[in-house]
Amino acid sequence: MARIPRITNQQILEAARQVFLQQGFGASTLEIAQQAGISEASIFKRFSTKEKLFFAAMGIPEKPLWVNELESLSGKGDLKENLIKICLQIMEFYNEVLPQIVMLRSRGNAFPELGGKEPGPIRDFQALTAFLEDEINQNRLRPCDPKTVAHILLGSLMNYVFLEQISSQVSRETATLPIGTCLNSEAHATEVSAFVQGFVDIVWQGIAPIQD
């Protein structure tokens, strides 16, 4: 009978996250193992590479949910509603990972070498561009530059989240937020949904298919 591990994967990831946030990707796996109270070899029995450990610990998926969604929505349903759905998922993704990315960027050796691979944000941008180009080819969008539209969508959504993160931090430091107010509150979700709806409405005016 296989022996049940005394230290869970989640405990290892929590230890790794603490160390990576302090030192960036340059932190040693030996130090992570000591933090978790296990051997270094035990880490690699569960996470085959330091890179996989890093991304799992930091909660940064190799392929975000919204990118997977693009594949299932291509050429299907109401495109404007699809864009609203995708934008909401992009906002949720950035809201989760952007604070960690900013914190890691403040460290020296913050991220692993990509070994010739495209960085995740570039791959995500390319995926959104390909989705928009496919919709244009199916006459579901008017002829336009899909890269420009992708830049408008991603740049605006990322900027919104970034400004929110800054505003939230300032509000907490100056104690101006009411008790219980946070970026994950129901009121905040309603505000984000209204922003995305209005934002897509504006963008849609420039990319909607031309009616005969």
Chain length of the chain = 212
Residue 109's pLDDT is 56
Neighbouring CB atoms inside 10 A of 143's CB total 11
Whether the CB-CB separation of 178 and 159 falls below 8 Å is answered with no
Average confidence (pLDDT) over 166-188: 58
Question: Taking the model in full, what pTM does it have?
Answer: 0.73
Please determine, for residue 201, whether its predicted confidence score (pLDDT) is greater than 50: yes
Residue 115's pLDDT is 53
Helix, strand, coil shares of the chain as percentages rounded to 5?
70, 0, 30
Share of the chain above pLDDT 90, in %: 46
pLDDT digits (tens, 9 = 90+) for 94-137: 888 877 777 666 665 566 665 556 677 888 999 999 999 999 99
Sort 112 into a burial class: Cβ within 10 Å, 0-12 / 13-18 / 19+.
middle
Domains, the chain, ordered by start: 9-58 (1.10.10.60), 65-207 (1.10.357)
pLDDT digits (tens, 9 = 90+) for 151-160: 999 999 999 9
Whether the CB-CB separation of 183 and 99 falls below 8 Å is answered with no
Please determine, for residue 177, whether its predicted confidence score (pLDDT) is greater than 90: no
